[in-house]
């Protein structure tokens, strides 16, 4: 290793890979992965979240799964929960919508209203 900069580069790259082992103060994206969710296509949605967050170098968000939230006809569902407990529920998602949520809501702080459960009737 010839310089501290080289060490920093390795550190940044490796940190991205293990950042999900740290739970403190993070926003959580909880994707419904029960039978209804999986059948409706929740796996590509989850993978899209993970992929887009990594591409955009977002460190303070963890993506997890949960069981059936209850509104099976609106699956795939994902909830965004901030560290102070504010919850936004997105419904009828697909991979493309997931990526938009990452950019608009998680990075720029603007929830995407059209995808929320409130608008879905």
Q: Segment near another protein (CB under 8 A), from 44-52, 86-94, 101-109, 111-119?
A: 44-52
Give the whole-angstrom CA distance, residue 48 versus residue 53: 8
Ordered DSSP codes for 76-91: S-EEEE-TT--EEEE-
Residue 47 within binding range of another protein, rule CB under 8 A: yes
Q: Segment near another protein (CB under 8 A), from 59-67, 70-78, 86-94, 102-110?
A: 59-67
Residue 38 within binding range of another protein, rule CB under 8 A: yes
Q: Which two tokens stand for residue 40?
A: 């409706």
Show contacts with another protein in window 60-89 (CB under 8 A): 62-67
Task: Kindly tell me which of 34 and 74 has the beta carbon lying closer to another protein.
Answer: 34
Residue 20 within binding range of another protein, rule CB under 8 A: yes
Which segments of 48-102 are extended strands (E)? 61-66, 78-81, 87-90
**Among 40, 29, 23, 46, which Cα is nearest to 95's?**
46
Q: Whole-number minimum distance, CB 114 to another protein, in Å?
A: 26
Rounded to whole angstroms, what are the CA distances from 84 to 14, 63, 80, 104? Answer: 28, 17, 12, 19
Residues of this chain that interact with another protein (CB under 8 A) are 1-4, 7, 10-11, 13-18, 20-21, 23, 28, 31, 33-35, 38, 46-47, 50-51, 54, 62-67
């Amino acid at each position: 290793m010839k310089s501290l900069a080289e060490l920093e580069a390795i550190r940044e790259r490796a940190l991205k890979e293990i950042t999900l082992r740290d739970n403190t103060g993070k926003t959580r994206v909880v994707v419904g992965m029960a039978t209804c969710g999986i059948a409706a296509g929740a796996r590509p949605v989850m993978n899209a979240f993970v992929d887009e967050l990594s591409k955009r170098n977002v460190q303070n968000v963890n993506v997890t799964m949960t069981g059936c939230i209850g509104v099976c006809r609106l699956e795939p569902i994902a909830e965004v929960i901030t560290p102070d407990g504010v919850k936004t529920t997105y419904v009828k998602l697909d991979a493309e919508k997931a990526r938009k949520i990452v950019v608009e809501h998680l990075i720029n702080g603007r929830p995407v209203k059209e995808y929320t459960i409130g608008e879905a009737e």
